[in-house]
Amino acid sequence: MATPEYYTLEGGDRMPRIGFGTWQASDEVLERSVEAALAAGYRHFDTARAYENEAALGRALRRWIGEDTTRRQHLFIVTKLPPGGNRPELVAEYFEASMKDLGLEYVDLYLMHTPFAFVHVPGDLHPKNPDGTMRVDHSTDLLSVWKSICKLKESGRARHVGVSNVNAEQLRRLCAVQKPACLQVEVHALCQQPALVAEARELGVPIVAYSPLGSKALADALAEKTGREYPDLLKLPIVQRIAQAHDRTPAQVLLRHTLQRGLAAIPKSTNPDRIKQNITLWDFELSASEMSELAALDRGEQGRICDFSFFLGIDKHPEFPFKK
Ligand SMILES: NC(=O)c1ccc[n+]([C@@H]2O[C@H](COP(=O)([O-])OP(=O)(O)OC[C@H]3O[C@@H](n4cnc5c(N)ncnc54)[C@H](OP(=O)(O)O)[C@@H]3O)[C@@H](O)[C@H]2O)c1
């Protein structure tokens, strides 16, 4: 069966299965990268209030739209409510701030970035205590926040709403209120999340894989801090061998693996050649035995990179999603 290029969402909107990640790029680099991505054919762009780059992304997108307002409908733009906004009465305010920076009339998808929360401190998205731990808001009412996010759809300025970084139990609770249009979570060869993928599929919630190439910058930063080793996904011998067999790059193999599992992915790159590579994925196919070899690379919870340990003390939050 052909690998679909889109998820079809409620109402018929289409979310391209390859999107462009924007985390950890300076404004100038990001604007150039977004131009390269648009030229390469990306139409799905992922940002977040917490990335502090919505204005740069908005500038690049608005330049591309230019005078031809019909172009907007071909884009799929995603941004996220930061952890400091996880209180029902703050959702609209944070949404408006994102809309102002993006300079767009609507976003295609608005996500709850994390189920855990920081204390809301105006002007500080990552508030810390003097000892370096995060100022955690332990009183989060996940379902009330979700209901407030769902209300954003009424104005039409958030066409769809969804969640990120929740576990299966939290996803079930959210679905009992309203089904999220999407679940964005870490998924790659070493962290394949088969149980969560199966649960989301059963609930009818499409998954978008973040850090699909192993988020090297984050892995390197964590390795330096903790001494833990993070294997480079692109250098795994199985991935390299399969890449050679198809005359493709390791990144293309990893992304194709994600697509053939029926998921979407949002790789980030600031390099024009790699940006093109990461969306040139529909003219080759991994065999069933290659898919099995790649499936066997899964390390379960040990393979997770973005475990939010960089937010000191966040694992004490009652809605912290990951098992130790
Ligand atoms: N919801 C969440 O909590 C959450 C968390 C993490 C990420 N995200 C989203 O997911 C996006 C992607 O994840 P990520 O940025 O963590 O990491 P990623 O996409 O897994 O990896 C990015 C790294 O891979 C390199 N790279 C990209 N294409 C490559 C290629 N073809 N060959 C070799 N290296 C390549 C990039 O370097 P170059 O730039 O030099 O190419 C960069 O160092 C983020 O940007 C963000 O939008 C969401």
Q: How confident is the model at residue 188 (pLDDT cuts 50, 70, 90)?
A: very high
Residue 324, pLDDT score: 63
What is the distance in A from the centroid of ligand 1 to the CA of 22? Answer: 8
Which tens digit of pLDDT belongs to each residue from 225-240?
Answer: 999 999 999 999 999 9
**Integer angstrom CA distances of residue 302 from 221, 230, 240, 320, 324:** 17, 10, 22, 17, 9
Query: CA 137, CA 159: separation in Å to the nearest integer?
Result: 29
Distance 267 CA to ligand 1 centre (A): 5
Residue closest via CA to ligand 1's atom 5 equals 210
DSSP H or E run through 8: strand 6-8
> Is 51 labeled as catalytic in the residue annotation?
yes
Over 90: is that where the pLDDT of 171 sits? yes
Task: Give the model confidence (pLDDT) of 69-113 as tens digits.
Answer: 899 999 999 999 999 999 999 999 999 999 999 999 999 999 999
Q: Choose among 113, 116, 103: nearest CA to 49.
A: 113
Predicted confidence at residue 312, as pLDDT, reads: 96
pLDDT value for 321? 98
Ligand 1 centroid to 21 CA: how many Å? 6
Q: Could you tell me the pTM of the whole model?
A: 0.98
Give tens-digit pLDDT for 99-150: 999 999 999 999 999 999 999 999 999 999 999 999 999 999 999 999 999 9
Ligand 1 atom closest to 217 (CA): 43
Of the residues 7, 51, 94, 230, only one is catalytic, namely 51
Domain ranges (residues) in the chain: 14-214+264-285+298-312
CA of 79 to the centre of ligand 1 (A): 16
pLDDT score for 323: 80
What value does the mean pLDDT of the chain take? Answer: 97
Question: For residues 87 and 145, is the Cβ–Cβ distance under 8 A?
Answer: yes
Question: Are 245 and 239 in contact, with CB atoms under 8 Å apart?
Answer: no
Q: Ligand 1: list residues with CB < 6 Å.
A: 21-23, 46, 113, 164-165, 184, 210-218, 234, 249, 251, 266-271, 274, 277-278, 306
| Number of Cβ atoms within 10 Å of the Cβ of 42 | 23
Fold of 14-214+264-285+298-312: TIM Barrel (3.20.20)
pLDDT the model gives residue 37: 98
pLDDT value for 284: 97
Residue 192 pLDDT > 90: yes
With beta carbons less than 8 A apart as the criterion, state whether 97 and 123 touch: no
pLDDT in the model for residue 2: 82
Q: State the pLDDT at residue 3.
A: 87
- Which stretch of DSSP H or E encloses residue 95? helix 91-102
| 264-282 pLDDT tens trace | 999 999 999 999 999 999 9
Q: What percent of the chain has pLDDT above 90?
A: 97
Tokens representing 131 are 């000892």
Residue 1 is predicted with a pLDDT of 64
Three-state SS for 232-276 is CHHHCHHHHHHHHHHCCCHHHHHHHHHHHCCCEECCCCCCHHHHH
